[in-house]
Each structure stands twice: as C-alpha cells, then as structure tokens.
Chains A and B, each alone.
Chain A
C-alpha cells in the first residue's frame, strides 16, 4: 500500500473536487482519495500506483502538479 500526496494547481471549488474524484474512481488500484481545497492537495492511496501516471492523469483533466510526496 502506497500513498501519494500531490500539490495541485487549480483546485478552487467543490466542482474541481468532484471532477478529480470522478476521474480517479475508475482506477481500481486506488483505494482511497482525499481532496483538500484549502491546501490544494490530493492524497491518493492504493496498490501498484505509479507517481508519473497519476501525475499525467491529473493533467488530462486540466490540473497541473506542482509537487508530490511519497508518504
């Protein structure tokens, strides 16, 4: 089990949150998603996760990643 903490640019409102949640819902490897509007931070946890593909995944829906940390 791995957890990635992403700093995301452009999370401003509830609809951004649901956009992100919906986008990662279909990824079966992800077991938990936490999105924080104040910190503009998303924590994704699950098995076999790859930082790079998750980062690209954010960009697909128009968010840019300014930082990330493996917890």
Chain B
C-alpha cells in the first residue's frame, strides 16, 4: 500500500463481501483487520486483496528497508551507465542500434523490477481509475520504455510508421531512481507505530502466585479464574484486577492515574493489573480477568484507535490525483489533434508526440518534493530536541486547532519535590534526610533530594520505625523525631503550634523533635518553568488549550491557573481522556494530545497529532507522532512553526517539481511545429528533470534556517 487511498480502496472493496461486518485497513501499520462471520471468508478476502493488486503477508515483521537502499543504488548505477551511452563518452563506442540495445537491457530491471510498484499502480489505474503519485510515474516510465523498446527492437517497422527515432531509456532510469530514493527517505523518516502495543503488552505480568489450600502455586495468567486468591510480593505486578483481602502496601498506579506517588492499599481496596506492589506482601481476590481488566481495556482501546485512525491523504498524492487525469487528457488530445489535423505520417507523429507528452509530464522531482523537505525538517528538529515520526506528522500538524495537555509529567515536572519549607533548619533537615533514607515512601526521596541540593551531610539514625499510614519514628543525634502526617503528631500529643497558610497544593509532612512541633514541608509537583509562555503563545495562535487529568478538581484548577489554561477536566480515567479527544473530533476540531503516561496512551492514539515527553513511559513514546526529548514544552511552538513552514515549502516544491515539466508539455505536444519549430528533443526531458530536482532540493534546504 503506498497511500491512504489504497487503504480506503481495500477497506471498501472487502466490506462489500457479504459476511464481512467490519473492515479496517491501516496504512501506517500496513495492516488490515476484518471482522468476519466465519473463517472460510478469509480465503475470499485474501483473493480480493490480490485481485486489487496488493500483497498480504500474515507474518507482520518482514522488513525491507535495507533492501530499498540497495535497490536505489542499483537503479542509479544503471541509470548513469545508460546516460553515458546516450549522451556521454560511451556514445560513440558502438553503433546506434547496439547502443540502444544495451540501454534497453540496462533499463529493463529498473523499469520493471525496481519500478514494480509504479507499474502496478498503473495497472491498477487502468483497471479502476484510481490514481496517485505512483500512477503518474508508472504511466510516464512505461510509455517511455515501451516506445523506446519498440523503436530499438523493430527499427524498420517504426521507421515505416514514421515514429520519431529517439529513445527515453535514461529518463526511465532517472525518474525511477529519484522517486525511489524519495520514497526510501520518507519510509526511513517514518516511525514504526507497531511498538506501542508491544510496550503495553509488556506491562502485564505473565505469571501469578495462586493461593490454594495454604499452598502457593505459580500459574500462568490465563489460568486465573474470577474468585481466585492471589499473592503479590514486593516489586511484583498485579496480574489481574481485584480486591485486597490481606496485607497492606503502597501500589504504583501511575499507569492508570498518571500520578507518580504510590497509593496506599488496605483490605477492601481495589487493585489493578499491571500496577506494581511497592513494598509489602498483599493477597487479593481476582475480580476481573482477561479482556475485562483495566490494562487490557487500555490496550484494546489503543489498538482500535490506531487502526481506525483516518490516515490523511498525502498532499503529493492529492495533487497527483488531479494532475494524472489532466496529463492523460492532454496526451490523448495531442494524439487526436496530430491524427486528424497533423501532417503525414499521421500515425508516427500522433504516437510520438503523445508519448513525448507522457514522458515530459512525468515529474521525477515530484517524488522528491515531500521527502526532501521531511528529511531536512526531521533532521533539523532532532537537533533541537524534537523527534518527528515522519512526513504525515508534519502534514497533520498544520491544521491543529485544539491541544490537550496531560498534567502530571507534562505541564508539571512529574516527580514530587519539596516546594515549601516552614521553619526547618539545615541541621534538622540533615537529620530528617538521614532518617528518610530508610523509608520506602515516595515522599522520602523528595526530602533526600532537597537535602542533597543543599549539600548536607547525611548520617545514620540510631533507631527507625515505620508507623504504617502515618509516618516514621526515629532517633538520631540524641534527638527523637516524628516525621509524617498530622495524625502521627496528634497520636503523640504534639500540637501544631504555629499557624501556616495553605497556599501550596501537595502533601504536608509534619516534623516534631523531642515531641515538640518543629515545622513542615510541603511536597508537591512543580509546574515546569516554560509552560506559561508556551501556553500564551499557543493561545495567540488561536489554539484552544485544555488540560485533562486524573488528578482532583482542586489540583487541576490550581495548575491551570498557574499556567494560564482556561479549560480543564479533572478526575478522568484513561479512556475518558480519549473520549474527550473523540468528542472534539466530532465537533470538527483537529486535536493534538500531549502526554507522558500509560494512562495517556488511549488519548494519544486517538488524537490527530500526538506528542510525548522524552521522559515519559515507553508506551506513550511509542504511541506518539512527536517526542519532545527533554520535555520542554516551548518545543511545541517550535514544532508548529517548523511544520507550518515545512508545509509551505512542500507546496512550493510540488509547484517547482511540476512547473518545468508542465511548461514543456506544449513543446512535447508539438506546438513549436506549428511555427516551423522542432518536435521535442529527448534532452529537454532530462533538463526539466535536473532543473526541477535541483530546485526542489535547494528549496528544501531552506528549512534548516527555520528553527
């Protein structure tokens, strides 16, 4: 499949087969999914796909890229040799007939083997009138090759008909080489989207520990039944969804909520498959298994969204689908005019000039117009810390009018930090951090980092005790510490004596020394530095900014206020994020989603354009079109500028790639003949080709100066 309309065609044709209830063809993944009544239909679909001129391959993992480059090298080498025979030093080596025969042989593999997809596309066009860029290339090269071969192989016949004695073998060679190169470059710039699902699958555990009559048995996850009791050791993942029946621990649920701080779980609390038990043994009862689990619902959604996403038709193909019929019309017109109004030999002139039109109209630079711009743009972007997943991404970015941001890890740093310190001296801080080294609690690391930033020395406590759900009791340097929530202090009859204003949103960690209140830390998630400017620039561009988060209303409101986002949705589940995207799309908006977590994956997969933070999860990165390597949001603006300007250059390129050829069409059609001028010499085709290619490449290089 070479374009989105090929995908459409397969989809439509297959869905016409009775018994096929759903047909879904994904151009980006080059995969197709069909929902069928019974397996016997499979053969029928396979046949249909072949009938339409496509291959199918049940083994999805075949890669051909290295092969592509080799093919290009072969094509260009052969073309250069042909060129040397036609116009270079080899010309005088042998007689003209032998020369042409050599060219014919050399051009043959380029035409039919390396250029196979163009010729196939031409064949398809003749069958179904469905055209794209490849059709135009196929049309030009095939007419050139067939005509030139006819002249070479049957000289007497061709002379007797009066065909113009010239060959276009080198045009065939160069056109195919360049377009092939363009497609290779574009293919290379395209990121594989398949990996997202693999990364998601890797999140689920394969085995679980089943409790049975007091024994523990390791079983495969498929064997788990609803109602089974399962044990999860520290560091292990929950295999399925369920409810805690014994023990308590903190569980890393960042995949569901996006929040980095683990959630305490006690008896009766729900746990989800793929989440990680942080530090104590937990027994739980399986409630949802297989496709009903939370994780599998996310996977199913991502899979569905990725394969049902409408792929935009490439701009070059859109242009070609208009250009091709026009070219064919002109060539037929040329034939007819020469046939009915031209001089003798009418057959010779009519055919020769029609072919000349088809050859000259075959714009070799058309194949380079998009890829060269894309290669320069993606190369430039990667230097600036943006990884762009191919040309379509740039085309899609142009029309974005709504951007949805995830909160944690996207607008904020995504890791808990000390954001406020009330009355805690460095000496006390050093003690606290020393104690916190022994705690597994996620907030401890924030305090340790805070102390390390101040270059404080850490020591070892003399005693240390975790008070579950409340905090830590410890002693160090002859001081007894209570570090934890307000409950811990109250339990020990410590009264928080000083008042403080609650301005910062985060977790409050109270500290008492020798049973006297000392002070407190606020640990929270800082908003990234450059966010505010980025949002205001986006708003100036007329892009509506939203924040969608799994976090609560209060936090959402606070963050939005800080960064200047006007719209938000709080407390949403992963699939709800995606529904919001869908809703916007139904309103006709073009939506970009920016996130970092597994919980963002459904929305990222659904969005028209998706961007992930480089520090984000593999799942988010693999689901996304663009990766912001360092997570600095001002890169969004850079990207939008780059995309917009690159599209401008791509349009100019398409114009440049066709203008020389189009201007030469009248000459090829023989207009000059009317004024006693010559018919088109084949060299003109080569000149047009060279000029347009040089123009396109140098125009593309201008993108380097954009950002």
Q: Contact residues of A with B, CB < 8 Å?
A: 7, 9-10, 50-52, 55, 59, 62, 64-70
- Which residues in A have their C-beta under 8 angstroms from that of B281? 9-10
What residue in chain B is nearest A9 (Cβ atoms)? B280
Q: List 6 A-B contacts (CB under 8 A).
A: A51-B438, A52-B437, A59-B234, A62-B233, A62-B235, A66-B465
Q: Are B460's CB and A65's CB within 8 A? A: no
* B400 interfacial contact with A, CB 8 Å: no
What residue in chain A is nearest B440 (Cβ atoms)? A64
Q: Are A52's CB and B466's CB within 8 A? A: no
Which of the residues A7, A10, A51, A62 comes within 8 Å of B461, measured between beta carbons? A51
Q: Are A67's CB and B463's CB within 8 A? A: yes
Which of the residues A9, A50, A59, A64 comes within 8 Å of B460, measured between beta carbons? A50
Q: Are A65's CB and B438's CB within 8 A? A: yes
Q: Could you tell me the distance between the alpha carbons of A55 and B434 in the complex, rounded to whole angstroms? A: 13
What residue in chain A is nearest B473 (Cβ atoms)? A67
Q: Could you tell me the distance between the alpha carbons of A64 and B280 in the complex, rounded to whole angstroms? A: 7
- Which residues in B have their C-beta under 8 angstroms from that of A51? 438, 460-461, 464
- Which residues in A have their C-beta under 8 angstroms from that of B461? 51, 70
Q: How far is the CB of A49 from chain B (nearest CB, A)?
A: 10
- Which residues in B have their C-beta under 8 angstroms from that of A66? 465-466, 468
Q: Could you tell me the distance between the alpha carbons of A59 and B464 in the complex, rounded to whole angstroms? A: 16
Q: Could you tell me the distance between the alpha carbons of A50 and B437 in the complex, rounded to whole angstroms? A: 12
Q: Could you tell me the distance between the alpha carbons of A66 and B465 in the complex, rounded to whole angstroms? A: 6
Given contacts A51-B438, A52-B437, A55-B438, contact A64 B464 (CB under 8 A): no
Given contacts A52-B437, A52-B438, A55-B438, contact A67 B464 (CB under 8 A): yes
Q: How far is the CB of B109 from chain A (nearest CB, A)?
A: 62
Q: Could you tell me the distance between the alpha carbons of A69 and B460 in the complex, rounded to whole angstroms? A: 11
Q: Are B233's CB and A64's CB within 8 A? A: no
Q: How far is the CB of B419 from chain A (nearest CB, A)?
A: 26
Q: Are A52's CB and B460's CB within 8 A? A: yes
Q: How far is the CB of B430 from chain A (nearest CB, A)?
A: 15
- Which residues in B have their C-beta under 8 angstroms from that of A10? 234, 280-281
- Which residues in B have their C-beta under 8 angstroms from that of A62? 233-235
- Which residues in A have their C-beta under 8 angstroms from that of B288? none
- Which residues in A have their C-beta under 8 angstroms from that of B438? 51-52, 55, 65, 68
Q: Other CB < 8 Å A-B pairs besides A64-B280, A66-B466, 7 of them? A: A10-B281, A51-B464, A52-B437, A62-B235, A67-B463, A69-B462, A70-B460
* B279 interfacial contact with A, CB 8 Å: yes
- Which residues in A have their C-beta under 8 angstroms from that of B468? 66
- Which residues in A have their C-beta under 8 angstroms from that of B464? 51, 67-69
Residues 429-483 (chain B) with a chain A CB within 8 angstroms:
437-438, 440, 460-466, 468
What residue in chain A is nearest B464 (Cβ atoms)? A68
What residue in chain A is nearest B434 (Cβ atoms)? A52
Given contacts A9-B280, A51-B438, contact A70 B234 (CB under 8 A): no
Q: How far is the CB of A41 from chain B (nearest CB, A)?
A: 12
Q: How far is the CB of A47 from chain B (nearest CB, A)?
A: 15
What residue in chain A is nearest B278 (Cβ atoms)? A64
- Which residues in B have their C-beta under 8 angstroms from that of A64? 234, 279-280, 440
Given contacts A9-B281, A51-B460, A52-B438, contact A67 B465 (CB under 8 A): yes
What residue in chain A is nearest B468 (Cβ atoms)? A66
Give 7 nearest A-B pairs by CB, closest first.
A67-B465, A69-B463, A70-B462, A66-B466, A51-B460, A64-B279, A68-B464
- Which residues in B have their C-beta under 8 angstroms from that of A70? 460-463
Q: Could you tell me the distance between the alpha carbons of A9 and B469 in the complex, rounded to whole angstroms? A: 15
What residue in chain B is nearest A67 (Cβ atoms)? B465
Q: Could you tell me the distance between the alpha carbons of A62 and B464 in the complex, rounded to whole angstroms? A: 19
Q: Are B465's CB and A7's CB within 8 A? A: yes
Q: Are A68's CB and B463's CB within 8 A? A: yes
- Which residues in B have their C-beta under 8 angstroms from that of A68? 438, 463-465
Q: Could you tell me the distance between the alpha carbons of A50 and B461 in the complex, rounded to whole angstroms? A: 10
Q: Could you tell me the distance between the alpha carbons of A51 and B458 in the complex, rounded to whole angstroms? A: 12
Q: Could you tell me the distance between the alpha carbons of A59 and B465 in the complex, rounded to whole angstroms? A: 16
Q: Could you tell me the distance between the alpha carbons of A51 and B233 in the complex, rounded to whole angstroms? A: 23
- Which residues in A have their C-beta under 8 angstroms from that of B235? 62
Residues 15-61 (chain B) with a chain A CB within 8 angstroms:
none
- Which residues in A have their C-beta under 8 angstroms from that of B234? 10, 59, 62, 64
What residue in chain A is nearest B437 (Cβ atoms)? A52
Q: How far is the CB of A54 from chain B (nearest CB, A)?
A: 10
Q: Could you tell me the distance between the alpha carbons of A46 and B31 in the complex, rounded to whole angstroms? A: 64
Chain B 56-95 per-residue mask, 1 if CB under 8 angstroms from chain A, else 0 = 0000000000000000000000000000000000000000
Q: Are A67's CB and B280's CB within 8 A? A: no
Q: Could you tell me the distance between the alpha carbons of A7 and B235 in the complex, rounded to whole angstroms? A: 19
Q: Could you tell me the distance between the alpha carbons of A67 and B464 in the complex, rounded to whole angstroms? A: 5
- Which residues in B have their C-beta under 8 angstroms from that of A67? 463-466
Q: How far is the CB of B347 from chain A (nearest CB, A)?
A: 88
Q: Could you tell me the distance between the alpha carbons of A47 and B388 in the complex, rounded to whole angstroms? A: 56
Q: Could you tell me the distance between the alpha carbons of A4 and B541 in the complex, rounded to whole angstroms? A: 63
What residue in chain B is nearest A64 (Cβ atoms)? B279
Q: How far is the CB of A16 from chain B (nearest CB, A)?
A: 11
Q: Could you tell me the distance between the alpha carbons of A36 and B235 in the complex, rounded to whole angstroms? A: 24
Q: Could you tell me the distance between the alpha carbons of A65 and B472 in the complex, rounded to whole angstroms? A: 12
Q: Could you tell me the distance between the alpha carbons of A55 and B281 in the complex, rounded to whole angstroms? A: 17
Q: Could you tell me the distance between the alpha carbons of A67 and B462 in the complex, rounded to whole angstroms? A: 11
Q: How far is the CB of B248 from chain A (nearest CB, A)?
A: 10
Q: Could you tell me the distance between the alpha carbons of A50 and B233 in the complex, rounded to whole angstroms? A: 26
What residue in chain A is nearest B249 (Cβ atoms)? A64
- Which residues in A have their C-beta under 8 angstroms from that of B463? 67-70
What residue in chain B is nearest A55 (Cβ atoms)? B438
Q: How far is the CB of A70 from chain B (nearest CB, A)?
A: 4
Q: Could you tell me the distance between the alpha carbons of A34 and B440 in the complex, rounded to whole angstroms? A: 24
Q: How far is the CB of B91 from chain A (nearest CB, A)?
A: 77
